[in-house]
Amino acid sequence: MNDAAVSTGIPRIGDPAPAFTAVTTQGEITFPADYAGSWVIFFSHPADFTPVCTSEFMTFATMEDEFTALNTKLVGLSIDGLYSHIAWLRTIKDKIEFKGMKDVEVTFPLIEDITMEIARKYGMIMPGEDSTKAVRAVFVVDPQGIIRTIIYYPLSLGRNFDELKRVIIALQTADALAVATPADWRPGDAVIVPTAGSCGTAKDRMEGKEEGVTCVDWFFCTKDVSEEAVFAAITK
């Protein structure tokens, strides 16, 4: 297999997260085994001491408690070395202020990947973008170690962190309530119930016989779930 193929191979949604052991700013980790029972946002950034990455790490660190409340842990990666990581995170803490954020301490692990072995395993190196830097990849891994969402951004585009949090909440809601979430869904919006699996169920729904379910057509039915009910379901 040529280098380009190795660099651009990407695990698929529904695959077990590729396993690895790595040195990080918080000690050695074995992934995903060390995170069994928790959701994980595993993400890459192009390089330490770069402004877009700095803004992202400050945002992630500032939101870490919000993700923790959703049983979600953060794990970062770039192909820089451990000492570069440490120096950069100290600089963020001591010197950087952005959008009202300052004195930000990054306490989640940042992986050293100078060999690019892990980045290649996750398809984070895309030669068409840069052959020596990881793109801004995001892998959402569930408590069973299964990849549930994959999002890629180019080097120039900082991530939308409200969307990353929305993804976690929506995935957890879908699992907890056996529903799907429509476009632009937010907690408190109506959810989509599974499509009717029989003519009888479809007929009952269209005739309003299924309590709490509203149908636009036999295949497109929703039900209301309050924001409180969503968080009760996903945080119990």
Q: Tell me: pLDDT of 4 over 50.
A: no
Average pLDDT over residues 62-70: 98
The whole-number pLDDT of residue 86 equals 98
Reported pTM: 0.92
The whole-number pLDDT of residue 99 equals 96
Average pLDDT over residues 145-154: 97
Q: Please tell me the distance from the alpha carbon of residue 43 to that of residue 1, in angstroms, as a whole number.
A: 25
Which are the catalytic amino acids?
A: 53
Closest CA to 63 of 151, 181, 166: 166
Average pLDDT for the chain: 94
Q: Does 136 appear as a known binding residue?
A: yes
143, 39 Cβ separation under 8 angstroms: yes
Domains with residue ranges and CATH for the chain: 3-159 (3.40.30.10), 178-234 (3.30.1020.10)
- Confidence class for position 12, pLDDT limits 50, 70, 90: very high
The whole-number pLDDT of residue 3 equals 43
**CB neighbour list of residue 16: distance below 8 Å, 6 or more residues apart:** 32, 145, 146, 147
Q: Tell me: pLDDT of 25 over 70.
A: yes
Q: Tell me: pLDDT of 6 over 50.
A: no
Q: Using DSSP, state whether 197 is helix, strand or coil.
A: coil
24, 153 Cβ separation under 8 angstroms: no
Query: What percentage of the chain reaches a pLDDT higher than 90?
Result: 84
Angle at 192 between CA 184 and CA 183, to 5 degrees: 15
Could you tell me where the beta strands, DSSP code E, fall in 58-162?
A: 72-78, 97-98, 101-102, 110-112, 136-141, 147-153
pLDDT in tens, 186-223: 999 999 998 888 898 888 888 888 888 999 898 999 99
Q: Please tell me the distance from the alpha carbon of residue 181 to that of residue 173, in angstroms, as a whole number.
A: 8
pLDDT in tens, 67-109: 999 999 999 999 999 999 999 999 999 999 999 999 999 999 9
